[in-house]
């Protein structure tokens, strides 16, 4: 059997060349299969990590888990989650992505960039509110961040939001007190513009100007933001290491009936 692949004494030049070509093809096939298997495992790992996150964060409707230390107006579905981590302030869902996560808040913006809901080192993805935001009574602008660990190569579905057709989407973000729906109006990929939005969010005129000038979406009536609109900014890491900023305006308060 081996003599079919390994040159032996007495082989002619043509036979040696044939065996050499066969051997090279076999090596290339093995290497290709190894690369494919590794890529598949990596992708599966990312999905599994996020799947575990979502499973662990599954909403609980156990009314008996409420304690006296909870906020008076907290929705029943958050009782169990709040008992586990009382830094919980809401929930964020971005359609057709892996982002379906509890939103946390700390006294600074670095803690939950590296720690998860269970206060363990982040191995998947996480969502948290800017430390300056009032989550009990949302102001004109609310800022959320999505973080991922180095073990996650990319957050599935996020890149599609850079397509101009995505501006018809809605974002579900609610606090532990009320469920809300937000209309996606802009996606910003310019890093300087994103930094300007975060730094000048209190300047309403500057915010509206920056959103209008830097969105990758085509301008239309649906993408406009009025002075009275509450605005949601969600910063998300892209697959190339840069950040994207989704901008949405609040369009209604959903029923909290289950």
CATH number at residue 112: 2.40.260.10
| 58 assigned to some structural domain | no
DSSP assignment of 37-95 equals HHHHHHHHHHHHHHHHHHHHT-----GGG--TTS-TT--GGGHHHHHH-TTEEEEEEET
Domain check: are 145 and 236 in the same one?
Answer: yes
| 170 assigned to some structural domain | yes
Tell me phi and psi for residue 43, to 5 degrees. Answer: -65, -40
| 73 assigned to some structural domain | no
Q: For the chain, what is the mean pLDDT?
A: 81
Domain check: are 154 and 234 in the same one?
Answer: yes
| 115 assigned to some structural domain | yes
| 42 assigned to some structural domain | yes
Domain of 185 in residue numbering reads as: 88-253
Q: Predicted confidence band at 91 (pLDDT cuts at 50, 70, 90)?
A: very high
Domain check: are 42 and 152 in the same one?
Answer: no
| 78 assigned to some structural domain | no
- Total domain count for the chain? 2
Q: Predicted confidence band at 55 (pLDDT cuts at 50, 70, 90)?
A: very low
Find the radius of gyration of the CA atoms of the chain. Answer: 25
CA distances for 49 relative to 19, 125, 182, 238, angstroms: 45, 8, 27, 18
The predicted structure's pLDDT at residue 256:
42
Q: Is the pLDDT of residue 61 over 60?
A: no
The predicted structure's pLDDT at residue 148:
94
Domain check: are 30 and 142 in the same one?
Answer: no
The pTM for the full model equals 0.74
Q: Is the pLDDT of residue 244 over 90?
A: yes
Per mean pLDDT, which range of 9-23, 48-62, 133-147 is the poorest?
48-62
Domain check: are 104 and 191 in the same one?
Answer: yes
Domain check: are 143 and 232 in the same one?
Answer: yes
Domain check: are 14 and 128 in the same one?
Answer: no
CA angle at 50 for the pair 161 and 104, rounded to the nearest 5°: 80
By three-state DSSP, how is residue 171 classified?
Answer: strand
The predicted structure's pLDDT at residue 258:
32
| 258 assigned to some structural domain | no
Domain check: are 151 and 32 in the same one?
Answer: no
Domain check: are 153 and 100 in the same one?
Answer: yes
| 60 assigned to some structural domain | no
């Amino acid at each position: 059997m081996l003599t079919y692949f390994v040159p032996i004494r007495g082989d002619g030049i043509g036979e040696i060349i044939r065996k050499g070509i066969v051997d090279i093809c076999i090596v290339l096939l093995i290497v290709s299969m190894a690369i494919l298997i590794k890529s598949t495992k990596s992708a599966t790992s990312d999905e599994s990590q996020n799947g575990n996150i979502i499973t662990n964060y599954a909403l609980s409707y156990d009314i008996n888990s409420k304690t006296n230390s909870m906020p008076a107006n907290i929705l029943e579905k958050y009782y169990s989650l709040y008992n586990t981590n009382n830094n919980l302030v809401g929930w964020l869902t971005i359609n057709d992505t892996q982002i379906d996560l509890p939103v946390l808040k700390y006294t600074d913006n670095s803690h939950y960039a590296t720690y998860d809901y269970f206060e363990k080192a982040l191995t998947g993805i996480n969502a948290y509110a800017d430390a300056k935001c009032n989550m009990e009574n949302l102001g004109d602008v609310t800022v959320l961040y999505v973080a991922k660990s180095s073990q996650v190569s990319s957050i599935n579905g996020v890149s599609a939001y850079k397509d101009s057709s995505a501006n018809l989407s809605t974002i579900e973000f609610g606090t532990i007190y009320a469920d809300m729906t937000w209309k996606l109006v802009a996606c910003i990929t310019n890093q300087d513009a994103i930094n300007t939005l975060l730094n000048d969010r209190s300047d309403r005129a500057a915010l509206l100007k920056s959103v209008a000038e830097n969105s990758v979406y085509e301008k239309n009536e649906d993408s406009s933001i009025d002075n009275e609109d509450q605005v949601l900014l969600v910063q998300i890491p892209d697959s190339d290491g840069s950040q994207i900023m989704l901008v949405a305006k609040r369009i209604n308060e959903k029923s909290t009936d289950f």
